[in-house]
């Protein structure tokens, strides 16, 4: 779901950068010493996760794990994903530098939403609620990102419903895999006594 360089018009790119800058500001403010290693780790996870792909129909999709990163990081998901996307753009030509703002927002904002939705469930901490949290984080992260991408591609004339339909259908397996991963990670963290909330 990286939008390539040269697809979106200028105003879209600028809006993306403005929103991402705001997110980065809030995110960097929220990072304290204890949170730095966690942010680094999830940034690395997101960086690698995009290389795990599933070919589906006419497109090819990959794991996002932005819901997981969001749930564990809160607003700090913005700097984490920004760094990861920057290196994906530089090293793999996924996306690009000018669209980095838009791509970061697409991925990180659903993460923030997931954070607020999942927070009470993580606090509760029973097995059932942790699994529910994992499922919800995956759904919100993946499908909200797909919605954003579809909305942005509307600006270049592709119809929203058609792109959204494709994006949603293509990402169903991704969401399914992520649900399992997220629940597994939450349960594991709980078992290891690592605090889930930040």
Partner 1 sequence: MKKLLVFVFSFLFVLTAQSFAHKISAFVDVEDGNVSLVSYFSDGTPAKNAKVTVYDSKGNVVLTGRTNKEGEFDFKIKKSGKYKAVVLAELGHRAVVNFTVGTPATSSRSKTSQSAGTKTAVQKQSKPSAPSLSEEEFRKVLREELRPIHRELLKIEEAQSSISYKDVIGGLGWILGIFGAAMFGYCYRRREGGDAS
Contacting residues toward partner 1, per CB under 8 A: 1-8, 31-33, 36-41, 43-45, 47-53, 55, 57-63, 83-84, 87-88, 91-95, 149, 152-153, 163, 166-167, 170, 181, 185, 188-189, 192, 194
User: Least CB distance from residue 178 to partner 1, whole Å?
Assistant: 12
Q: Which is nearer to partner 1, 50 or 136 (CB)?
A: 50
Task: Quickly list DSSP for 32-80.
Answer: -GGGHHHHHHHHHHHHHHTT-EEEETTEEEE---HHHHHHHHGGGHHHH
For residues 77 and 40, the answer to whether their CB atoms sit within 8 Å is no
Q: Which is nearer to partner 1, 119 or 190 (CB)?
A: 190
Q: Which is nearer to partner 1, 50 or 135 (CB)?
A: 50
Q: Which is nearer to partner 1, 121 or 181 (CB)?
A: 181
User: Least CB distance from residue 172 to partner 1, whole Å?
Assistant: 14
Q: Which is nearer to partner 1, 55 or 120 (CB)?
A: 55
For residues 68 and 178, the answer to whether their CB atoms sit within 8 Å is yes
Q: What six digits make up the tokens of 137?
A: 């984080």
φ/ψ of 61, rounded to 5, equals: -115, 160
User: Least CB distance from residue 56 to partner 1, whole Å?
Assistant: 9
Q: Which is nearer to partner 1, 56 or 117 (CB)?
A: 56
φ/ψ of 62, rounded to 5, equals: -135, 165
User: Least CB distance from residue 101 to partner 1, whole Å?
Assistant: 14
User: Least CB distance from residue 179 to partner 1, whole Å?
Assistant: 15
| Cα distance between residue 132 and residue 137, in whole Å | 8
User: Least CB distance from residue 181 to partner 1, whole Å?
Assistant: 8
| Cα distance between residue 72 and residue 193, in whole Å | 14
Residues 6+ apart with CB under 8 A from 124: none
For residues 70 and 104, the answer to whether their CB atoms sit within 8 Å is no
| Cα distance between residue 145 and residue 14, in whole Å | 18
């Amino acid at each position: 779901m990286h939008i390539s360089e040269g697809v979106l018009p200028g105003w879209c790119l600028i809006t993306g950068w403005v929103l991402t800058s705001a997110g980065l500001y809030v995110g960097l403010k929220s990072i304290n010493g204890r949170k730095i290693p966690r942010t680094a780790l999830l940034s690395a996870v997101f960086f690698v996760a995009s290389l795990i792909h599933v070919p589906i129909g006419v497109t090819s999709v990959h794991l996002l794990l932005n819901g997981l990163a969001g749930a564990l990081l809160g607003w700090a998901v913005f700097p984490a994903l920004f760094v990861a996307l920057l290196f994906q753009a530089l090293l793999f030509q996924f996306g690009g530098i000018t669209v980095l703002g838009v791509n970061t927002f697409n991925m990180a904002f659903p993460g923030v939403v997931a954070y607020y939705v999942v927070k009470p469930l993580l606090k509760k901490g029973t097995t059932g609620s942790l699994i529910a949290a994992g499922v919800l984080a995956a759904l919100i992260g993946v499908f909200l990102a797909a919605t954003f991408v579809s909305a942005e591609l509307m600006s270049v004339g592709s119809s929203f419903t058609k792109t959204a339909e494709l994006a949603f259908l293509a990402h169903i397996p991704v969401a399914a895999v992520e649900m399992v991963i997220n629940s597994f990670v939450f349960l594991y963290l709980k078992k290891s006594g690592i605090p889930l909330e930040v």
